[in-house]
Amino acid sequence: MTHFQAFTKSFARACCRNYHVQTILPHPHQVFINHRGPDTRRNISGLLYDNLLRLGHRPFLDYRNMKAGEKLQEIINTAIRDCKVGVAVFSPRYCESFYCLHELALLMEYKKRVVPIFYNVKPSRLRVGDIYNGTGRRVSEKDLERFSRALEEAKDIVGLRFDSSRGYWSEFIRSASDAIIEQIDKNDDERI
């Protein structure tokens, strides 16, 4: 429970003991961070999540927002459907992950604003090959086409590039956060 939620419940109990009070909070996630965990969880994705949170935004990052016992696909699909902006953190082994490509395809199918980040990989090196789903079965041709279409669409969006051997982390995280916040603001402006 967030500090704000705890405060509103405490306030409601103290002031309105005889009334049922329902607080309406904004959706918990503005930004969905799509990434391949083993490649980026401890660096770029985690740092970006922390910085967006520090700036007062509500990012979703699977391992930071999910709890034991929750249904993985249900939570992730809902977070993607309801987010304002998607961030696709492409890494060298990103296209080997069924889950990464499925999430990317959902972001594109829901027509979300997407900020691509190419982390230690050139866009031209990203290709969908033979991949296997979570049960060890080869992904169907239909899914491969869906994933390829989403990947090509994402590569066609102006993105950010970061080479960890040459770049400055703090500078990049700041500029990536600024780009994401700009897309959140554009999304909000369109809804007015």
Q: What is the pLDDT of residue 16?
A: 41
Q: Catalytic: 103? A: yes
Q: What is the pLDDT of residue 27?
A: 58
Q: What is the pLDDT of residue 141?
A: 93
Catalytic residue among 70, 96, 103, 152: 103
Predicted structure pTM score: 0.83
5 vs 89: CA distance, rounded Å = 30
154-183: b (≥16 Cβ within 10 Å) or e = beeeebbebeeeeeeeeebbeebbebbbeb
Task: Give SS3 for 88.
Answer: strand
Q: What is the pLDDT of residue 26?
A: 52
Query: Which residues, in sequence order, are bridge partners of residue 25?
Result: none
Question: Is the separation of the CB atoms in 107 and 150 below 8 Å?
Answer: yes
Q: What is the pLDDT of residue 73?
A: 86
- Profile the chain (192 residues) by mean pLDDT over runs of 10 residues: 46 42 58 97 97 97 84 90 97 96 98 98 94 82 96 97 97 98 92 72
